[in-house]
A and B are shown apart, each in its own frame.
Chain A
Amino acid sequence: MSAAAPQTGLFDCRDAYVATLEALGAQNSSIVAVVNDSVGSSKLGKFREKFPERLINVGIAEQNMIGVGAGLANGGKVAFVSGASCFLTGRSLEQVKADVAYSQANVKLCGISSGVAYGELGPTHHSIEDVAWLRTMGNIDIIVPADPWETEQAIRHAAATEGPVFIRISRMGVPALERPTDAQFQIGKAEVLHAGDDAAILANGTVVCRALEAAKTLAAEGIQARVVNMSSMSPIDEAAILSAAQTGAIVTAEEHSVRGGLGGAVAEIIAQHTPCRLKILGFAGFQPTGSAEFLMEQAGLTADHIAASVRKLLDR
């Protein structure tokens, strides 16, 4: 495992996930959790203590896990299906497609330890393809929260909305982002976290805090870079992307493959409507071994490299 104990001021978003699920579970007896022997890695031990009948462990059987989740939904339950994102999406992709997305089942897929959280364990355990796989299906909400607050909002949205949702949850420590007190999460809406019209940095998940840091560095140099949190990957906020394109330069940054994720989505939209300079930061393919932080650095998913990418697009 790459992650040491979270540093001061950094949060593991799994904690926000389970705390929210426990709170919602206390209010709504229809909420159930389904796991593939992943009670520990999904941090659902307390949920099981509180609601033993509502924690369904199907064992190491991901295809079955998704189908069981869809079946529980058929029986009137709100099924939160949690497992390591690499297996939850990859091993059972056809179940996600047919049983959940196409069937419009009321299933909430919680992909835990997504991205390169399991850095040293290698590409079998990295989940840098999940958003690309699910994004093609169109009728499943996809949320990549950036911090604990947004993780809680994503879980609340999923519980309150009938239909399929995929929530991509990291275990890398992230800071709590500063937001106005009346901030609201809205599916399909991007969130401008830093204003600017010289360029735009579009990011989601664990990279948003790095994009903000990059924007601060650039601001000190006189470059005003807008930072947009693209946590809602499907539906995606096309207006926010087209507005970002008006700056003339977009850098996308995500803990995901450079193919088919946020960068791909942005390219699809701007290429057809408002072409502009674009740099996609992410993972170019299967990754070598190394800690999550090492892999992020290698891929240029650091504040320094994001800032450098903006400068390069602006020829500065």
Chain B
Amino acid sequence: MSMPQPLSQSGADTAQRVAHVRDMARWIRQRALRMAFEAGQGHPGGDLSVTDILATLYFDAMRYDPANPRWAGRDRFILSKGHATGALYSTLAKAGFFPEDELTTYMQPLSRLNGHPNRVKIPGVETNTGPLGHGMPIAVGIAIAGQIDAGQNGRADYRVFVTTGDGELQEGSNWEAAMTAGHRKLSNLTLIVDRNRLQQGAPTEETVTLEPLADKWRAFGWDVEEIDGHDIAALLPLLDGSLARAKPLCIIANTVKGKGVSFMENKAAWHHGIPNAEQFAQAMQELEA
């Protein structure tokens, strides 16, 4: 089969790539917020903080084929913070894994688009997340499989991406997986930490201190890059595979929970708060910008 070509490999220049990802991110934010508003449930704060990461991965960096979602050579993405399904489903629909119309069924009775993703039912989902601290070990397992198969049996080498929340890093299973990845030098693995500094009810640093977070990852044998997680131009070169690495990469993406909606930004209450009609209208207007 012909290999799907990500935008990053298409010869487009950086400005074009950034503009395209921004367009996609704008659409995802609005769509995700509409989903939460219409469902009366969801996690808008985390949807909005992770959107630029998802948009960069799916509309610039990753290689996949929505017509053949289990293609063995695909790049893999795991949303370990599985509650950000507004953003994830919008992204997968926009990428062509299922019809955009279906997003209106979000969390409706018997919809396959439940509050946390299900790989058995939804094309493009790699594993069923929801309970926190599950994505990293699975991503490590996929990366080991990729390492075993690299260049063998006609298989394309693939890359593995996983996004965790920051509060989620309080789960010990992440660090078990971090040790394994560091030990095995899984250079095909990239973790993006959605570092919005807020967990469900309070700042991470008031709950259980995560800092110095970059030092922790370095100590576990990872390369670390710290960036503004809404700066697409900064995300592109870290995610497009253009830099050869000898270790797994942790990108600490400093983000803003509720990004793009003035009254939601940096407010823990919007972790799973739902806007009323007036707030929704204002938010959609702000997200148009």
**A77 near B127: Cβ-Cβ < 8 Å:** no
Tell me, rounded to whole Å, the shortest Cβ–Cβ distance linking A25 to chain B.
13
The docked-state distance in angstroms from the alpha carbon of A63 to that of B119 is: 20
Is A274 at the interface (CB under 8 A from chain B)? no
Report the count of interface residues on A (CB-CB < 8 A): 32
Q: Which of A61, A64, A103 contacts B128 (CB 8 A)?
A: A103
- CB contacts (< 8 Å) of B136 on chain A: these are 67
B144 at the interface (CB under 8 A from A): yes
Cβ of B120 within 8 Å of any chain A Cβ, yes or no, is yes
Q: Are A68 and B180 in contact (CB under 8 A)?
A: yes
B126 within 8 A of A: yes
Question: Considering only CB atoms, which chain B residue lies closest to A97 in the complex?
Answer: B131
Q: Does A102 contact B (CB under 8 A)?
A: yes
A-B pairs under 8 A by CB, number? 109
Q: Say yes or no: is A271 at the interface (Cβ < 8 Å to chain B).
A: no
Q: CB-defined interface of B152-190 with A at 8 Å, one 1/0 digit per residue?
A: 000000000000000000001100110110010000000
Knowing A74-B141, A102-B128 are in contact, say whether A67-B134 is a contact too (CB < 8 A).
yes
Closest to B180 in A: A58
Q: Are A72 and B141 closer than 8 Å at their CB atoms?
A: yes
* Interface flag for A40 (CB, 8 Å): no
Would you call B145 and A61 a contact (CB within 8 A)?
A: no
Within B98-140, the residues touching A (CB, 8 Å) are 118-120, 126-131, 133-134, 136-140
Least Cβ distance of B117 to chain A in Å? 10
For residue A280, give the distance in angstroms from its CB to the closest CB of chain B.
33
Residues of the B chain whose Cβ atoms lie less than 8 Å from the Cβ of A49:
none
The CA-CA distance from A290 to B141 in the complex, in Å, is 39
**Pairwise interchain contact B173-A98, C-beta atoms closer than 8 A:** no
Main secondary structure of the interface of A (DSSP, over half): helix
Are A67 and B138 in contact, with the CB atoms below 8 A? yes
User: Do residues B134 and A75 form an inter-chain contact, with CB atoms below 8 A?
Assistant: no
Measured CB to CB, the nearest residue on chain A to B137 is A67
Q: Does A252 contact B (CB under 8 A)?
A: no
User: Is B76 part of the contact surface with A, judged by Cβ < 8 Å?
Assistant: yes
Contacts of A53 in B (CB 8 A): 148
Contact B148 A68 (CB under 8 A): no
CB contacts (< 8 Å) of A70 on chain B: these are 127, 137-138, 141
Bin chain B's interface residue count.
Answer: 20 to 34
Given A103-B128, A104-B120, A71:B148 Cβ within 8 A: no
- A75 touching B145 by the CB < 8 A rule? yes
B120 touches A64 (CB 8 A): no
Known: A98-B130, A102-B128, A103-B120. A59 touches B142 (CB 8 A): no
Whether A63 contacts B176 by the Cβ 8 Å rule is: yes
Q: With a CB–CB cut-off of 8 A, which chain A residues contact B143?
A: 71
- Chain B residue, CB-CB nearest to A139: B120
Q: Is B215 an interface residue (CB 8 A)?
A: no
**A99 CA / B132 CA spacing, docked (Å):** 12
Minimum distance in angstroms from A32 CB to a CB of chain B: 8
Instruction: Name the distance in Å between B107's Cβ and chain A's nearest Cβ.
Output: 18
**Residue of B130, B139, B141 most packed against chain A (CB within 10 A):** B141
B19 within 8 Å of A (CB atoms):
no
Contact flag A99-B138 (CB < 8 Å), given A74-B145, A76-B149: yes
Q: Is A69 among interface residues, defined by CB-CB distance under 8 A? A: yes
Cα-based distance from A66 to B177 in the complex (angstroms): 11
**Residue A95 at the chain B interface, CB threshold 8 Å:** yes
Known A-B contacts A75-B149, A103-B119; A66 and B137 likewise in contact (beta carbons under 8 Å): yes
Query: With the chains together, A298 CA to B103 CA distance in Å?
Result: 59
CB of B127 within 8 A of CB of A64, answer no
**Do B129 and A98 touch across chains, with their CB atoms under 8 A apart?**
yes
**What residue of chain B has the Cβ atom nearest to residue A101's Cβ?**
B128
Q: Contact flags (1/0) for A22-64 with B, using CB distance below 8 Å?
A: 0000000000101000000000000000000110101101011
A167 to chain B: which residues have CB within 8 Å? none
Give the docked Cα–Cα distance between A103 and B126 (Å). 9
Please judge, given known A-B contacts A76-B149, A99-B128, A103-B120, whether A71 and B179 are in contact too, CB under 8 Å: no
- Subset of 9 A-B contacts with CB under 8 Å: A34-B141, A59-B179, A63-B137, A64-B137, A65-B137, A67-B141, A74-B127, A98-B129, A102-B120
Listed in ascending order, the chain A residues whose CB lies under 8 Å from chain B are: 32, 34, 53-54, 56, 58-59, 61, 63-77, 79, 94-95, 98-99, 102-105
Given contacts A70-B138, A72-B141, 6 further A-B contacts (CB under 8 A): A58-B180, A64-B176, A68-B138, A72-B142, A75-B146, A98-B128
